[in-house]
Amino acid sequence: MTESLRGVYELQGMFHQDWDLDYESWDEVIEDFARSRSAYASAAVTELANMAEQWSEKRIRKEIRVIVTQKEAAKLPQPRWKNAALTLRERIIAAQRNYGHWSTD
């Protein structure tokens, strides 16, 4: 598994079945991910950009739904799932900037 994929799977781990018991909002999950797992967050940013550039819409939709749950995926911009991947990427970058962990990778 590549490091960038590992970052995406770490984010997926943050969105466990009962994530809403630990966090008040989806953005809070992403902020915690950026703060507490900054290296993985940077890797996830890279992989989400790769998804948007190289993957089919169908494959991105499937992966995003696995990463953040179907309910939360429905809140991302559609019908273009490439936009959903980029939106998730931008939210991670914004959270990293808030905690001083942002990199230009």
Q: Domain ranges in the chain?
A: 3-16+25-98
Question: What does the pLDDT look like over 23-58, one tens digit per residue?
Answer: 888 889 889 999 998 899 999 999 989 988 898 888
- Provide the whole-model pTM: 0.73
Question: What does the pLDDT look like over 71-88, one tens digit per residue?
Answer: 777 777 666 778 888 888
Q: 64, 88 in Cβ contact below 8 A?
A: yes
Q: What phi and psi values does residue 18 have, to the nearest 5 degrees?
A: -110, 35
